[in-house]
C-alpha cells in the first residue's frame, strides 16, 4: 500500500482519500475474517446449469425482507438437487465473501440441507403458542357473519378451482350473491405479501360484509404460508369478518385459528356465508302455516267460549231473570218515589220561607205598612230633608196611589224648622 495513503478509514480526508480499490480490499479482508457458519432461509431463486461447476441460489430470510445470493459447488448441491426448489426452506453452510470487482457481497456455500418438515412445524407450533398467549385466537374476538352479505370478498389464486367452488355453490344457495374478487399467490414466497394486500383492499370496501380466503388442498409445505405470522396478524386486525377455507378438513394452518369462521373446504365456505334460499322460503311458508293454525285455533277457542256463555241461564232467558227480581224492583221503585217526594216537600217548605222573606223586604210591603216614598219632580227619591226647601213640590208614593204636596217647611236632625 502506498505509504502516503491513510492507514485507517477514519484518517481519510477530502484531500487525501482512499482509492476505491483500497476500500474494496479492506472490505474483503474484513468480511473474510468471519468464520464459516450455518445459515437458515428460504430458497427464492435457483440456478443449476448442467455441466457448470457452480450453482447459484437466492436465499431469503424466513421472517424479514432480507436476501443474499449463495454460490455452491455442484458437488455440494448434488444431494438435494432433485428436491430443491423455490419455496424450500434450507440450511446452508457458507462463508461470507466480497467480490472486489463488482463490490457485491455473497455467501460461498459448501453444503446445503433441506430443513425437515418437523422443524418447520415445530416453529409454527411455537408461533401458535405465542399468538394464543397474546389472545389473537380468543373466542370473544370472533365477529359474527352477516345473514345476507351485500358483497362477498374472495381472495384466491387466479384460475384456481377453489374460486369456482365458492362462487358456484354460493349462487346455488343464493342466486343474488355478489363477489368482489382479488387474486393472490396461494403458494410460494409471495403468498403472504399478496394475500395481505388483497385483504387490506377488500377490508376497506364498505359494502363487502364478509371475506373468504381460500385455496384447494395440497402438501403440508404448500400450505405453510397460511401460517405466516404476517397473515395471521393482518386477519386479526381486519374489521370485516373473515372465513378461512384453506385446503381440506384435515389441514389446519394458523389462519384457521384467527379467522372468524373456519370452513373445512371452499364449498363449505360458500354454504356458510349465504343462506339457502329454498330452505328460507320453506321456513317462511312453515311459519305462515303455523301462524295461520294458531290464529284458527284461537278463534275456535273463543267461539267455544262464546257458545258456553250463550248457554247460561242469563243469556238463555233474560226475561225470566228480570221476573225473578220483580219484587225487588218494585220495592226499589217505591223507595225511590218516597225519597223524591220527601225531597220535594223539603224544597217546597224552603221556597215558601224564602218568599216570605223576600215579601217582607220588598218596597211594596213597606208602603203597605203606612210608609210613603217622596220623589222630586225629576223623580229622584228624597232621603234628606235638607235637600228640600219651602215651596218645593214633591210626589208621595203610597201603597195604593200617589199625591202631590208643597213643602211648607223642613225639620233637620237638630229639630229646627225652616
Asked whether residue 150 falls in the same domain as residue 283, the answer is: no
Asked whether residue 407 falls in the same domain as residue 297, the answer is: no
Asked whether residue 266 falls in the same domain as residue 304, the answer is: no
pLDDT higher for 307 or 152? 152
Asked whether residue 96 falls in the same domain as residue 78, the answer is: yes
The C-alpha cell at 200 is 387490506
pLDDT of 311: 79
Range of the domain at 372: 360-418
Q: Which of 115-124, 151-160, 368-377 shows the lowest mean pLDDT across its residues? A: 115-124
pLDDT higher for 170 or 413? 170
Asked whether residue 201 falls in the same domain as residue 168, the answer is: yes
CA atoms of 369 and 82, how far apart (whole Å) = 154
Asked whether residue 257 falls in the same domain as residue 146, the answer is: yes
Q: What is the mean pLDDT of residues 359-373?
A: 78
pLDDT of 150: 95
H or E element: which one contains 112? Answer: strand 104-114
Asked whether residue 147 falls in the same domain as residue 213, the answer is: yes
**Which one of 81, 115, 149 terminates a domain?**
115
pLDDT tens-digit map of 369-391: 788 888 898 988 888 888 888 88
CA distances from 222 to 25, 31, 113, 262 (A): 44, 36, 19, 18
Looking at the structure of the chain, the number of domains it has is 4
pLDDT higher for 87 or 303? 303
Burial annotation 396-409 (CB, 10 A radius, 16+ → b, else e): eeeeeeeeeeebee
Asked whether residue 268 falls in the same domain as residue 414, the answer is: no
Question: Tell me, what CATH number does 245's domain have?
Answer: 3.40.50.261
Asked whether residue 105 falls in the same domain as residue 219, the answer is: no
pLDDT tens-digit map of 157-167: 998 899 999 99
Asked whether residue 75 falls in the same domain as residue 215, the answer is: no
**Which one of 69, 91, 115 terminates a domain?**
115
Residue 128 has pLDDT above 80, yes or no: yes
Residue closest to 399 by CA, chosen among 360, 367, 371: 367
Ranked by mean pLDDT, the top range of 182-191, 193-202, 404-413 is: 193-202
Asked whether residue 130 falls in the same domain as residue 84, the answer is: no
pLDDT higher for 50 or 58? 58
List 175's β-bridge partners, or say none. Answer: none
Q: What is the mean pLDDT of residues 208-230?
A: 88
Signed CA dihedral, 77, 80, 81, 85: sign only: negative
**Which one of 82, 115, 148 terminates a domain?**
115
Please identify which residue in the block is written with the cell numbers 378461512: 244
CA atoms of 406 and 414, how far apart (whole Å) = 22
Percent over 70 (pLDDT), the chain: 93
Confidence bin at 62 (pLDDT 50/70/90): confident
Residue 117 has pLDDT above 70, yes or no: no
Half-sphere exposure of 334 (CA within 13 A, CB side): 6
H or E element: which one contains 314? Answer: helix 313-316
Please identify which residue in the block is written with the cell numbers 440456478: 47
Tell me what the pLDDT averaged over the chain comes to: 87
Show Cβ contacts of residue 382 under 8 Å, excluding neighbours closer than 6 positions.
374, 375, 376, 388, 394
Amino acid at each position: 500500500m502506498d505509504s502516503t495513503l491513510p492507514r485507517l478509514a477514519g484518517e481519510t480526508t477530502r484531500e487525501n482519500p482512499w482509492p476505491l480499490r483500497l476500500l474494496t480490499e479492506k472490505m474483503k479482508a474484513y468480511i473474510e475474517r468471519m468464520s464459516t457458519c450455518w445459515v437458515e432461509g428460504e430458497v427464492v431463486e435457483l440456478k443449476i446449469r448442467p455441466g457448470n461447476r457452480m450453482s447459484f441460489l437466492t436465499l431469503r430470510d424466513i421472517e424479514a425482507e432480507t436476501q443474499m445470493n449463495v454460490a455452491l459447488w455442484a458437488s455440494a448441491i448434488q444431494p438435494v438437487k432433485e428436491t430443491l426448489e423455490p419455496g424450500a426452506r434450507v440450511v446452508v453452510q457458507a462463508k461470507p465473501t466480497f467480490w472486489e470487482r463488482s463490490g457485491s457481497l455473497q455467501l460461498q456455500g459448501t453444503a446445503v440441507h433441506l430443513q425437515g418438515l418437523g422443524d418447520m412445524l415445530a416453529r409454527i407450533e411455537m408461533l401458535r403458542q405465542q399468538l394464543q398467549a397474546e389472545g389473537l385466537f380468543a373466542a370473544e374476538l370472533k365477529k359474527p357473519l352477516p345473514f345476507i352479505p351485500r358483497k362477498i370478498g374472495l381472495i384466491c389464486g387466479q384460475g384456481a378451482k377453489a374460486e369456482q367452488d365458492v362462487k358456484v355453490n354460493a349462487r346455488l344457495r343464493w342466486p343474488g350473491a355478489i363477489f368482489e374478487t382479488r387474486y393472490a399467490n396461494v403458494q410460494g414466497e409471495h403468498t403472504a405479501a399478496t394475500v395481505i394486500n388483497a385483504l387490506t383492499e377488500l377490508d376497506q370496501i364498505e359494502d363487502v360484509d364478509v371475506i373468504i380466503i381460500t385455496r384447494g388442498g395440497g402438501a403440508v409445505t404448500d400450505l405453510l404460508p397460511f401460517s405466516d405470522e404476517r397473515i395471521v396478524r393482518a386477519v386479526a386486525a381486519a374489521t370485516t369478518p373473515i372465513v378461512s377455507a384453506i385446503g381440506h378438513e384435515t389441514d389446519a394452518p394458523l389462519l384457521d385459528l384467527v379467522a372468524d369462521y373456519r370452513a373445512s373446504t371452499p364449498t363449505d365456505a360458500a354454504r356458510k356465508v349465504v343462506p339457502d334460499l329454498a330452505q328460507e322460503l320453506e321456513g317462511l311458508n312453515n311459519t305462515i302455516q303455523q301462524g295461520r293454525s294458531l290464529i284458527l285455533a284461537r278463534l275456535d277457542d273463543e267461539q267455544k267460549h262464546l257458545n258456553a256463555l250463550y248457554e247460561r241461564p242469563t243469556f238463555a232467558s233474560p226475561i225470566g231473570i228480570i221476573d225473578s227480581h220483580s219484587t225487588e224492583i218494585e220495592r226499589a221503585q217505591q223507595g225511590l218515589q218516597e225519597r223524591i217526594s220527601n225531597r220535594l216537600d223539603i224544597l217546597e217548605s224552603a221556597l215558601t220561607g224564602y218568599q216570605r222573606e223576600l215579601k217582607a223586604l220588598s218596597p211594596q210591603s213597606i208602603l203597605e205598612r203606612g210608609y210613603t216614598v217622596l220623589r222630586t219632580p225629576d223623580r229622584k227619591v228624597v232621603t234628606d230633608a235638607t235637600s228640600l226647601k219651602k215651596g218645593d213640590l214633591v210626589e208621595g208614593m203610597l201603597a195604593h196611589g200617589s199625591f202631590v204636596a208643597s213643602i211648607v217647611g223642613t225639620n233637620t236632625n237638630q229639630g229646627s224648622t225652616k
